[in-house]
Amino acid sequence: MPRIERELTLGIDDLCAVNEAHLVMLASTGLIEPAIACELAEALSGIREEGEGAVPRDPAREDGYFNFEALLMARAGAKAGGRLHVARSRNDINATLDRLAMRRMVLDLLAKTIALRQALLRRASQFADTLMPGYTHMQPAQPITFGFYLTGVAQALARDAERLFNAYGAADSCPLGACAFAGTSFPIDRQLVAGLLGFGAIQVHAQDAVTSRDYVWDAGAAVLAIASNWGRFAQDMYVWSTQEFGLVRFPDSIAGTSSIMPQKKNPVAVEYLKASSGEVIGGLTATFAILKGGHFSHAGDTGRSSLAPLWPSLRLVGNALTIARLVAEKIEPNVETMRQRAGAGFSTATDLADCLVREGGLSFREAHHVVADLVRDALERGLNPDELRHGDVLATIECVLGRTIELPDEAVAQAFDPGRSVEARRSAGAASPAETRRMIKAALVKLDRHRARLDALHAHLASARGRLEERLDKLRQAVPSN
């Protein structure tokens, strides 16, 4: 019963569409009589209108399809209802249902990925000038801006969207007409069925059509990348929200509290994101483990059980993308703390080394050694970067290199300034506010292109559905009702 309930609850619209398209094809090729086609069209239309609640749940009938067929035969009559199964099998029906479900799931994930990117880019534009420390190895490295960071996350998700579009294409071929696995002797029109269901092509080889589920790996690769990206984003927010870092804070709408400690504000939204990445990996691993053990033929494990752990994982991805969008929209940077931290931790050390190269004529390796010794000495003396002076730099140069150089005082002061550090980084893809805004603008253009592609796919499916409904109406009108 759970299997029957799941198949009918989640797939009744697809099951109706598969039956409707097959009926139109049988009538078009003359494989069923107009009167029979009319009766079947009327019965199918009634079932679609009433929905999955109209279909009985009889465990003796094994699965959702046989329960659906029993209802169809009861409404259209045994003679008419039994004609619909000519030139097909549950094997190609189920393979087609899986692909229809995958296409719909991918479109949903695309929409949610686009929404998350939109939120990230909107906040990135808002905080393109907000200084913060950038980290490598979780140590202060170089100053950046919060907007620059958020833009990078959005860039990664743009590649994930491309992977999802590829996954849609991998699933967009129709197995219907392959029958059990060797095709049929009836003169069917597989292209017509594929077109009425909105597929871009037929899955040609009959055995491959009912046996293969390899399009799952295209979707799997896409969602694994997405889960990795939202997981890493969540990990940063999780750490940055601690009192020890204090870089961001969560409003109550995406935080929880303690049942005993009234001061607590727990980052439950990002904890959910961190955990859900692992759940996605688990579902995909189970799917692969089942599929790889099957023969290259139809069987219960490859044809049905293999995808059972996948669908919950994909729905989880959709939920996580929604939560990640909420986090992106709601999280607030502690602007003053970020600015202070950007100037601490000697994160402008690279800028000082660059200054020694530009202004003092040192090689970069010489400059690197000088600045490394300068920072080491400052840490031993308990000095912060803003407490170092021009004379400290010159003394370190003489100690390390055994010579003095001409070095403008103003150049050293500017090298220690994190704001000037960020502003100066204007190479392609760099962290300056101007370059960050240029990247945001380019990312929004790509976002619009992806949204247009998504809209086009939806329009294509809607057009196919319209053609199918039109053909069904003609079948219903072909024979006058008594």
20: CATH: 1.10.275.10
Please tell me the number of Cα atoms within 13 Å of 479 on its side-chain side.
Answer: 14
The last residue of a domain, from among 54, 86, 118 = 86
What is the residue type of 198? G
Higher pLDDT, residue 389 or 106: 106
Cα separation, 310 vs 288, whole angstroms: 10
Sorting pLDDT into bands at 50, 70 and 90, what band is 402? confident
Residue 143's SS3 state is strand
Q: Which domain holds residue 353?
A: 349-416
Q: Are residue 256 and residue 285 in the same domain, yes or no?
A: yes
Confidence of residue 23 (pLDDT cuts 50, 70, 90): very high
Residue 482: predicted pLDDT? 52
31 token code pair: 């494989």
Identify whether 101 is part of a domain: yes
Where does a domain end: 383, 416, 449?
416
Lowest mean pLDDT among 94-98, 246-250, 325-329, 346-350: 346-350
Residue 470, in any domain of the structure: no
Whether residue 71 is found in the same domain as residue 104? no
Query: Is residue 153 included in any domain, yes or no?
Result: yes
**Quick check: 481 pLDDT over 70?**
no
Q: Are residues 82 and 95 in the same domain?
A: no
For 391, counting Cβ atoms within 10 Å of its Cβ (0-12 exposed, 13-18 middle, 19+ buried), the class is exposed
Rounded distance, CA 439 to CA 111, Å?
A: 22
- Alpha-carbon distances of 172 from 87, 200, 250, 476, rounded to whole Å: 22, 6, 41, 29
d(CA 315, CA 10): 12
Q: How confident is the model at residue 10 (pLDDT cuts 50, 70, 90)?
A: low
Residue 224 structure tokens: 């694994």
Same domain, 96 and 78: no
Whether 74 shows a pLDDT value over 80: the answer reads: yes
Are residues 96 and 34 both part of a single domain?
no
Q: Read out DSSP for 148-162?
A: HHHHHHHHHHHHHHH
pLDDT (average), residues 217-238: 95
The answer on pLDDT for 71 being more than 70 is yes
Q: Which residues pair with 135 in a beta bridge?
A: 140
Contact 65, 53 (CB under 8 A): no
Identify which has the larger pLDDT, 369 or 10: 369
The CATH number of the domain where 371 resides is what? 1.10.40
Residue 32, pLDDT score? 95
- Residues 353, 373 within the same domain: yes
Same domain for 317 and 236, yes or no, is yes
Least confident of 141-155, 260-274, 443-457: 260-274
Q: Is residue 160 located within the same domain as residue 293?
A: yes
CB atoms within 10 A of CB 111: 18
State yes or no: pLDDT of 299 exceeds 90. Answer: no
Give the list of residues 6+ apart from residue 405 with CB closer than 8 angstroms, or none.
Answer: 356, 360, 361, 362, 394, 397
**What confidence score (pLDDT) does residue 206 get?**
95
Same domain for 243 and 372, yes or no, is no
pLDDT attached to residue 480: 55
pLDDT at 368 over 70: yes
- Can you tell me the mean pLDDT for 467-473? 96
Task: Please report which confidence band the pLDDT of residue 236 belongs to, taking 50, 70 and 90 as the band edges.
Answer: very high
pLDDT tens, position by position, 406-443: 888 887 777 778 888 899 889 999 999 999 999 999 99
Residue 475 included in any domain: no
Mean pLDDT score across all residues of the chain:
90
Q: 25 with 165, same domain?
A: no
Nearest alpha-carbon partner for 335 in 246, 447, 434, 423: 246
Is the domain of 454 the same as that of 441? yes
The closest of 316, 142, 156, 296 to 214, measured between CA atoms, is 296
Residues 135 and 256 in one domain: yes
Overall average pLDDT of the 27-52 stretch = 93
Residue with tokens 């003053």: 336
Chain segment 308-324, per-residue pLDDT in tens: 889 999 999 999 999 99
Question: Is 165 inside a domain boundary?
Answer: yes
Output the pLDDT for position 17: 96
Span of 71-85, 170-184, 367-381 with lowest mean pLDDT? 367-381
| CA-based R_g, the chain, Å | 31
User: Are the beta carbons of 307 and 7 closer than 8 angstroms?
Assistant: no
Instruction: Please state the domain count of the chain.
Output: 3
Residue 125 is part of a domain; what is its CATH number?
1.20.200.10
Which tokens go with 126? Answer: 């808002």
Domain presence at residue 476 = no
- Predicted confidence at residue 2, as pLDDT, reads 64
Tell me what pLDDT residue 460 has: 98
Is there a domain that residue 148 lies in? yes
Q: Given a cut of 70, is residue 1 above it in pLDDT?
A: no
- The pLDDT score that the predictor gives to residue 400 is 79
- Those residues whose C-beta lies under 8 Å from the C-beta of residue 167, and which sit 6 or more positions away, are 102, 106, 215, 218, 219, 221, 222
Task: Indicate the pTM of the whole model.
Answer: 0.91
Give pLDDT, residue 265: 83
482 lies in some domain: no
Residue 450: alpha-carbon gap to chain centroid: 13
